[in-house]
């Protein structure tokens, strides 16, 4: 195989957000992305498959949310048309008709959303970095100082995630939003940094990982379950047990997650899959992995990045480093 050169990126398409239509088996949606090398960005398109034919339907600012509300209606974000231009300071939620191609805005949030999930009915689960923890004190610069507008006073120590700690006291918070009432409410506190999120509309539940800190991240994550009916958050695994917890999933009546205690190599240690009973909160190793999930070894040895885990019925599918030999079945 010939080495890939930078210009080769123009000839590759990357697929994401593959979504099956639960109402019509022959219809599938996905997002197709391609590198625009000269502009140093990706362009994104919503694609629909009917039968054997694929059609490009919309330009998207970024992949965002793609899910089916009914047989002929998609719920999505970040559409770029002559009528809808994505505002970087807010997030629009739109319905898209597969029959007519009409776009209708049903809801918007006054901040950019990093990820969104459909909870069922008219509810959404969104994760966003909201500026709610910024301190009131500012540096005492002399009047007329030309550098004041370019200075930020840090109130917490930076941590391992490649500089995100320098964004003073910002957190990825989890919210539940309802497009009928046009309201949104936080699920996590302003000191909680949310990680992975999985949603099960059939159960009206949300599984998520993360950690709480005010000054410096402990790098010890916990696992939590939000029940939308009771509007309650249950702690399944306390913060401090695992160094990292990723890829939470619903699997039949159990929960699956990938985690490591990081006792040998810290945060870069390969993860193992665990099976957890949500009633008893007891968990056990489901599958020990000798190689990291995903495949993103970069200059700072950031392993376990770029992973993809998906549950279909009672099967768990995942990506991991090459040359790994996995026995059949989990």
Smallest CA-to-CA distance from 257 within 209, 305, 303 is with 209
Mean pLDDT of 128-156: 57
C-alpha pair distances (Å), 12 with each of 100, 186, 295: 30, 39, 18
Residue 162 has pLDDT above 50, yes or no: no
pLDDT of residue 69: 94
Q: What is the pLDDT of residue 51?
A: 83
- Residues with Cβ within 8 Å of 232's Cβ and at least 6 positions away in sequence, in order, are 226
DSSP 178-224: ETTTTEEEESS-TTEEEEEEEEETTTTEEEEEEEE-SSS----EEEE
Question: To the nearest whole percent, how much of the chain has pLDDT over 90?
Answer: 41
Does residue 149 register a pLDDT over 70? no
Residue 146 has a pLDDT of 57
Which residue would you say has higher pLDDT here, 281 or 317?
Answer: 281
Looking up tokens 């109130």 gives 155
Q: What angle do CA 33, 108, 99 make, to 5 degrees?
A: 60
Pairing of strands 232-242, 221-227: antiparallel
Distance of CA 285 to the CA centre of its chain: 24
pLDDT in tens, 85-124: 666 788 889 999 999 999 999 999 998 898 999 999 999 9
252-276 average pLDDT score = 86
Q: What is the mean pLDDT of the chain?
A: 81
pLDDT tens digits, one per residue of 180-206: 999 999 999 988 999 999 999 989 999
- Who's near 315: CB < 8 A, 6+ residues apart? 330
Query: Per-residue DSSP letters for 100-122?
Result: T--EEEEEEESS-EEEEEEEETT
Query: Could you give the count of Cα atoms lying within 13 Å of 64 in the half-sphere of its Cβ?
Result: 29
pLDDT given for residue 319 in this prediction: 79
- Top-confidence residue, 278 or 320: 278
| 8 Å CB contact between 130 and 91 | no
Residue partners of 252: CB distance under 8 A and separation at least 6: 314
């Amino acid at each position: 195989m010939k080495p890939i050169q930078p210009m080769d990126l123009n000839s590759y398409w990357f697929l994401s957000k593959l979504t099956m239509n639960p109402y019509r088996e022959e219809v599938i949606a996905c997002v197709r992305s391609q590198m625009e090398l000269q502009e140093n960005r990706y362009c994104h398109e919503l694609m629909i498959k009917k039968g054997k034919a694929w059609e490009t339907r919309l330009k998207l600012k970024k992949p965002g949310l793609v899910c089916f509300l009914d047989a002929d209606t998609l719920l999505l974000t970040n559409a770029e048309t002559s009528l809808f231009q994505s505002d970087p300071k807010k997030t629009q939620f739109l319905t898209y008709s597969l029959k007519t191609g009409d776009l209708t805005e049903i809801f918007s949030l006054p901040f950019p959303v990093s990820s969104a999930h459909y909870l069922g009915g008219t509810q959404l689960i969104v994760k966003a970095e909201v500026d709610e923890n910024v301190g009131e004190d500012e540096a005492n610069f002399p009047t007329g100082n030309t550098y004041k507008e370019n200075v930020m006073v840090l109130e917490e120590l930076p941590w391992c995630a490649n500089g995100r700690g320098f964004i003073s006291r910002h957190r990825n918070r989890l919210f539940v939003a309802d497009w009928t009432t046009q309201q949104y409410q936080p699920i996590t506190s302003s000191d909680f940094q949310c990680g992975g999120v999985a949603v099960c509309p059939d159960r009206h539940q949300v599984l998520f990982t993360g950690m709480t800190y005010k000054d410096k991240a402990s790098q010890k994550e916990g696992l939590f379950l939000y029940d939308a009916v009771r509007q309650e958050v249950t702690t399944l695994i306390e913060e401090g047990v695992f160094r990292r917890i990723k890829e939470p999933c619903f699997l039949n009546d159990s929960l699956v997650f990938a985690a490591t205690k990081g006792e040998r190599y810290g945060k870069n240690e390969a993860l193992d899959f665990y099976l957890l009973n949500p009633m008893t909160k007891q968990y056990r190793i489901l599958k020990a992995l000798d190689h990291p999930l995903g495949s993103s070894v970069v200059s700072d040895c950031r392993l376990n990045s770029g992973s993809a885990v998906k549950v279909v019925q009672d099967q768990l599918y995942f990506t991991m480093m090459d040359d790994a030999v996995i026995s059949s079945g989990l």
